[in-house]
Structure formats: C-alpha cells, structure tokens
C-alpha cells in the first residue's frame, strides 16, 4: 500500500493508547487515519467512509474484531478492503482462524510498529 495522504486507514482497538499511537505514527508516514474504539463503531465508520485498509483488534467489547471481519468479508462493497488483524490471541489455531475468516495478515500483540508499517506497505 503506497504511502500517501489519499490512502485511508481505519484503526480499530478498544485500547485508546494503542489507537492514539498508531494514529499519530501512521499520519507521520503520510496516511489519512480514521479511528474506532469498538466493533460497532468500526462498522459505523465503514458505512460512512471510504477506507483502503483496516488495522483491527480481535478482542473488543460489543462486537469483536472477528465479527467485524466476517461482516466486512460478506459485503461486496467492502471486498477491496485490506485487513490486518491484531490480537493477544497467539495460538496457531487463533492465527489460522483469523486468516481463514479473511484477514490479509495477522500480527500478535505486542507488535513492533516497524513490522506493522512493513506489512501495510506490502499489502
């Protein structure tokens, strides 16, 4: 994914410090960043805004990241959306489930921000 101000990334995580850190870091990289703090809010943002990539936490209140992922993958209007799943769930079966449900990449928390930037550029 090229670094430019037209690339829109939605960062979704219930941990506000992570969202704020990613938002500031990605904006410094030249991306336009939208944020959401739970799955319901993420789906609302996707209904209103055009997004190119989503960085999505799995473990969240109300609607978890896996449910958001499944909803997005069922929607033909969002088929283009690249999704990076973040999670503290690091067992092989969790990673396999996340990618089988449609995540383009899966990063375990804690993650190295440089690795996240590399993955974004490679998508």
pLDDT digits (tens, 9 = 90+) for 9-53: 999 999 999 999 999 999 998 999 999 999 999 999 999 999 999
Q: pLDDT band for position 1 (50/70/90)? A: low
Domains of the chain: 8-122 (3.40.50.2300)
The predicted-structure confidence for 48-76, as pLDDT tens digits, reads as follows: 999 999 999 999 988 999 999 999 999 99
- What's the predicted TM-score (pTM) here? 0.91
pLDDT surpasses 80 at 94: no
The whole-number average pLDDT for the span 90-119 is 84
Phi, psi for 110 (deg, rounded to 5) = -70, 150
Query: Residue 88 and residue 59: Cα distance in Å, rounded?
Result: 8
Average pLDDT over residues 102-118: 88
Q: Which of 121, 87, 85, 110 is nearest to 21 (CA)?
A: 110
What is the predicted pLDDT for the residue at 108? 86
């Amino acid at each position: 994914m090229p670094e430019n101000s037209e690339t829109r990334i939605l960062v979704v995580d219930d941990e506000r410090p992570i969202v704020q850190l990613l938002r500031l870091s990605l904006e410094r990289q030249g991306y336009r960043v939208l944020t959401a703090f739970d799955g319901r809010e993420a789906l609302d943002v996707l209904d209103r805004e055009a997004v190119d990539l989503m960085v999505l936490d799995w473990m969240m209140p109300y609607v978890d990241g896996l449910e958001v992922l499944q909803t997005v993958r069922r929607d033909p209007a969002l088929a283009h959306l690249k999704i990076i799943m973040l999670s503290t769930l690091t067992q092989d079966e969790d990673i396999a489930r996340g990618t089988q449900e449609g995540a383009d990449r899966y990063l375990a928390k804690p993650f190295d921000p440089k690795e996240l930037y590399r993955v974004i550029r490679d998508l």
